[in-house]
Amino acid sequence: MNISGSMTQVLTIEDNSQIGYARRTAQQLAEKNGFDATDAGRVALVATELASNILKHANSGELHLRLLPRSSGTGIEMIAVDRANGFDLQACLTDGYSTGGTQGIGLGAVSRQTEVFDVYADSRGAVLLTRLYPRSDRAPDRRFGISQHSMHNDPACGDVWHLAYDGPRISALVIDGLGHGEDAELAARAGERAFALAPFAAPVLALEGMHQAMIGTRGGAVAITQIDCASDHLKFVGIGNIGACLIAPDKTRGLASHPGIVGGHYRKAQPFDYAQINGQLLIMYSDGLQSRWNLQDYPGLVHRHPAVIAAILHRDFCRGRDDVTVLVIALEAAHV
């Protein structure tokens, strides 16, 4: 199964009128992507409550929408993001509780309407994750998260990501086309198309194929991670400044890249092997994200859903002067 990346749709939530817009936008997205009236209604209800919750306890924030391609259809991810001083999570999970004094349905009710629900909140703000799938879709949730945004909301994005699943194997790609805008996106998409033809080919061969496809474009930085959860190891190869690391609760391992530009010039592409990776997080990110972050500064975050982690890293460490992509994958022997 191949999952091709798309940008996160960001809806600003600053006043009550934007709650209705968020509800309509989410419901229309569901209806256009195979959700029947009942399931699209669930999406609308959850979008309304998430947007309302932002105003109630944070005064302002964002609702992030994303399609989730699946082998049997499409899901919808909605993440509420704010920078408030935190809120009483246990109280908010109680049906009927509202921090704004109005009658809310409660995040507990929201959690029962969704297939995936997770929250992280501290003094820096809150991130609430929901994922909804049509009731007919019984496939398990893929435990990955992605936060991708273009600079200044440009419709073109020079960052591209791609995931391929084959049983316990995962192949993950992040490309950062040089610069930003349409030409950067053309370069990155050329590399992605080549990668998608054989995502589990030997990493050096895959990279060479991408290099040939990107000649004549701006070129870009590229990182490929091939994971085999059954044998508990991964291979990583990178050219340029895509950051990557393996994170366990008690340690972090950086994954080493080589200098150069794919589609331009690089001297070598040596893959590196890493063992005993199950139970850890793989995080790959473009240089639109600052590199000076540490998940240990967020107690318990390493155990949250990867989509929550990606959203928090983007919220707190986006440079704001380039496209940014954060890809987080939970490495688990149970991957199927």
Domains, the chain, ordered by start: 2-132 (3.30.565.10), 144-330 (3.60.40.10)
The pLDDT assigned to 110 comes to: 86
Please state, rounded to an integer, the average pLDDT across all residues of the chain.
91
pLDDT per position as a tens digit, 135-188? 988 888 999 999 999 988 889 999 999 999 999 999 999 999 999 899 999 999
The pLDDT assigned to 335 comes to: 46
Residue 265: how many other CB atoms lie within 10 Å? 11
Residue 252: how many other CB atoms lie within 10 Å? 15
The ranges of the chain with pLDDT < 70 are: 5, 86-106, 333-336
The pLDDT assigned to 47 comes to: 96
- The whole-model pTM stands at 0.93
The pLDDT assigned to 105 comes to: 59
